[in-house]
């Protein structure tokens, strides 16, 4: 079931510096089952500004799901993850690490930092579509999350 209240779209924060990936994700989510709103930031600092509603993100919504790339300009994804999971208010937001890295240490580190799941971006478009759909389905319709 969806925990979103009817009428309010699910807020997704995508932290991704590659416009190609942003576009692809947007394309896939546009046809998604769940009514969602995709917020995109390009680096780690922006991501934190968004989450803490700083600067021109003062009116930013609290995301229901964060899709986080690891290798980002300025603050990288690992630092963002540390901050989110170390913050009492933010730590309950599920964070999906969506990255190209297949490095064992990245995977290990992400889980050690309490990332909720780690997904390697596939080369194949069909697989990518399947994965984004799975994320949407799993985190936004199957999983029961606390009410904020």
Partner 1 sequence: MVQAPLPDNEAARVKALRQLSILGTAPEAAFDDLTRLAAYICQVPIALVSLVDGDRLWFKSKVGLDVSEIRDGTFCTQVILQADLLVVSDVQQDERFANSPLVQADPAIRFYAGAPLITTEGYGLGTLCVLDYVPRQLNSAQLEALQALARQVMAQLELRRSLAELTETRNRSSNILESITDAFLALETTLLQQAILDGANYTIISTDIDGIIRTFNRAAEQMLGYSADEVVGKTTPLLLHDLQEVEQRARELSEELEVAIAPGFECFVAKIRAGGVEEREWTYLRKDGSRFPILLSATGLRDSDGNLTGFLGIGSDISDRKQAEEMLKLQSLRSQLLAEMSLKIRQSLQLDEILQTAVTEVQKIFQSDRVLILRLDTEGRGRVVQEAVAPGWSSTLDLKVQDDCFGSDYLKKYRQGRTYTVNDVDTAGLEPCLVNFLKYLDVKSKLVMPILLKDQFWGLLIVHQCDRPRQWTSLEIDLMKQLANQVGIALAQAQMLEQATLQSQEMARSNADLEQFAYVASHDLQEPLRMVASYLQLLERRYRGQLDDTADEFIAYAVDGATRMQTLINDLLDYSRVDSRGKSLVLISCSAVLARAIANLQPAIEAANATLTCAALPEIMADATQLTQLFQNLISNALKFHSDQPLHIHVSAQHRADAWLFSVQDNGIGIDSEYADRIFLIFQRLHSRGEYPGTGIGLAICKKIVERHGGNIWVESQPGQGSTFYFTIPDRGGNSA
Q: Give me the least distance between CB of 128 and partner 1, in Å please.
A: 6
Q: Is 122 in the site for partner 1 (CB under 8 A)?
A: yes
Q: Is 124 in the site for partner 1 (CB under 8 A)?
A: yes
Q: Give me the least distance between CB of 105 and partner 1, in Å please.
A: 9
Which CB sits closer to partner 1, 73 or 122?
122
Q: Give me the least distance between CB of 122 and partner 1, in Å please.
A: 8
Task: Give one DSSP letter per residue of 38-74, joined into a string.
Answer: EEEESSHHHHHHHHTT-GGGTTPPPPSEEEE-SS-SS
Which CB sits closer to partner 1, 66 or 72?
72
Residue appearing with tokens 């009492």: 88
Size of the site for partner 1 (CB under 8 A): 20
Distance CA 84, CA 92 (A): 9
Distance CA 52, CA 2 (A): 25
Distance CA 119, CA 94 (A): 13
Q: Give me the least distance between CB of 85 and partner 1, in Å please.
A: 22
Q: What letters, b where the CB count within 10 A reaches 16 and e where it falls short, cover 64-100?
A: bbbbbbbebeebebbbbbebbbeeeebeebbbbbbbe
Residue appearing with tokens 């790339």: 69
Q: Is 31 in the site for partner 1 (CB under 8 A)?
A: no
Window 65-104: residues binding partner 1 (CB under 8 A) = 70-71, 99-104
Q: Is 148 in the site for partner 1 (CB under 8 A)?
A: no
> Which residues sit at the interface with partner 1, rule CB under 8 A?
18, 20-21, 24, 27, 70-71, 99-104, 121-126, 128
């Amino acid at each position: 079931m969806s925990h979103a209240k009817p009428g309010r779209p699910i807020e997704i924060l995508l932290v991704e510096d590659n416009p190609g990936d942003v576009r692809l994700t947007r394309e896939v989510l546009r046809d998604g089952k769940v009514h969602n709103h995709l917020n995109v930031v390009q680096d780690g600092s922006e991501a934190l500004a968004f989450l803490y509603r700083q600067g021109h993100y003062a009116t930013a919504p609290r995301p229901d799901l964060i899709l986080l790339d690891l290798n980002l300009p300025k603050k990288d994804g690992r630092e963002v993850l540390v901050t989110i999971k170390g913050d009492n208010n933010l730590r309950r937001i599920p964070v999906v690490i969506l990255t190209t890295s297949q490095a064992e240490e990245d995977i290990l580190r992400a889980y050690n930092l309490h990332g909720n799941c780690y997904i390697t971006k596939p080369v194949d478009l069909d697989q990518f579509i399947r994965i984004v759909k799975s994320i949407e389905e799993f985190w936004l319709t199957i999983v029961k999350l606390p009410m904020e």
